[in-house]
Copies of this chain bind each other. A is one copy, B any other.
Amino acid sequence: MKELGIDCYLVFVRETAAMADPVRDLIIGGDVVWDSAFIFHTHREKLTKIAIVGNFDADAERAKGIWTDVLPYTKEISETLQKAIRNLRPSKIAINYSVDDVMADGLTHGMFIKLQTILSSYKRKFESAEKLIGRIRGRKTKTELELIRNACLETETINRAVLPQIRPSMNEKEIQQAFYQEMDQRSVKESWQRISCPAIDVGPDKNFGHLGPIDTMKAKHGHTLHNDFGVQLEGYCSDIQRMAFFGPKESIPDELTHAFETVREAIRKAAEFIKPGVKGFEVDNVARNYVLSRGYSEYQHALGHQVGVRAHDGGVLLGPLWERYGDTPKGEIEENNIFTLELYVTTKNYGMVSLEEMIRVTGDGCEFIIPPQEAFITLAS
């Protein structure tokens, strides 16, 4: 909070069992029923944490032992909340809304109106807590890093088990089915919605990432297989793309090799550039410029997103300064952030080539969480 010049952070929720602010598990833990306010206030190095909850919820909050004060109320939260804020005299009040970042947009519009009414004399002090939430969520602990690594290793293991089974003439849905079978056998869950996890693309005519698997798209000798895949293990996710080729190594066309090397090197250059303190869009820029310099048109998405409890974990984005990304690419990279590095180029005759790696930001650079792909995986044809 100090880093961001925020002296007061207010989480305002109700009936979290019906609809939970995404910060619930990060910051509160457990459910509340009536209107509840969780206040974090810093003043001269001292952090005060206050929970204002319905009488009914007060015991549960006290039992957590994390609050400086638990203030129960019986009828309406207004007075207790007004008094608490008056005592703290905050210069700014960060609240959970964000146009750009779903993980920081937990305050509903109805609750926002209610908060504005209760704290009407403070409403000019309201500001988005998106940066604060992004930092809390983005700084992974040692345990979190370990769990994410495990999810990456599991993804690799499944890829290694399933890819050799894929034969030309199988269609995309059948290939996806082979992954599902292995996932079910190993009792692992998909990292995003099952219908497109893994996303499977074969051949030159598929636009990666926008369509699900299609049962008329069949694998063929001399064509590529692309998959975008991740698993969720003990609550943490992976998100990795791999490329394979149906046929022996010697038969890979130069055009595909050139494309593969471009993607691999663009990722490597971004990985060499990234370190704490640089900004999201600067990292994207390194890869994007390299792709352009190799004669390809630029990829139509961001170079990387954070990964954690979710495959898309919000916060700072390694993206270009396009309107759709809002301010998220302007944030600074921090140590122990986990990012994907992913991009595609489009060849003239063989369709798209796309890879996605995952990195952890270290004190002065980054490390790949599992080894990045160096060359096409070759499949029997």
Chain A residues with a Cβ under 8 A of chain B:
14-15, 17-22, 31, 33, 54-56, 59-60, 74-76, 97-114, 128, 192-193, 195-196, 209-212, 300, 310, 312, 323-324
Contact = CB atoms under 8 A, between A and B. Distances in A.
A14 B314 CA distance: 13
27 contacts: A15-B312, A17-B193, A18-B22, A19-B21, A19-B102, A19-B105, A33-B193, A54-B210, A55-B210, A55-B211, A56-B211, A60-B212, A75-B300, A75-B324, A76-B323, A97-B109, A97-B110, A97-B113, A99-B110, A99-B111, A99-B113, A106-B108, A107-B109, A108-B108, A108-B109, A109-B109, A110-B128
B99 A211 contact: no
Contacts of A59: 195, 211-212
Nearest to A100: B110
A56 B210 contact: yes
Given A59-B211, A210-B56, A18 B310 contact: yes
B107 A108 contact: yes
A74 B110 contact: no
Contacts of A110: 97-102, 104-105, 128
A199 B110 CA distance: 29
A43 to B, nearest CB: 27
A108 B97 contact: yes
A5 B324 CA distance: 35
Contacts of A114: 99
Contacts of A15: 102, 312
Contacts of A107: 108-109
Contacts of A74: 210
A55 B14 CA distance: 34
Contacts of A210: 54-56, 74
A18 B103 contact: yes
B106 A209 contact: no
Contacts of A21: 19
A212 B114 CA distance: 28
A102 B109 CA distance: 11
B19 A56 contact: no
A321 B199 CA distance: 54
A33 B193 CA distance: 9
A76 B108 CA distance: 23
A179 to B, nearest CB: 18
Given A19-B20, A99-B113, A112-B112, 18 more contacts: A14-B102, A17-B192, A17-B193, A18-B103, A19-B22, A19-B106, A56-B212, A60-B195, A76-B324, A97-B110, A98-B110, A101-B110, A105-B108, A105-B109, A107-B109, A108-B109, A109-B109, A109-B112
Contacts of A98: 110
Nearest to A110: B105
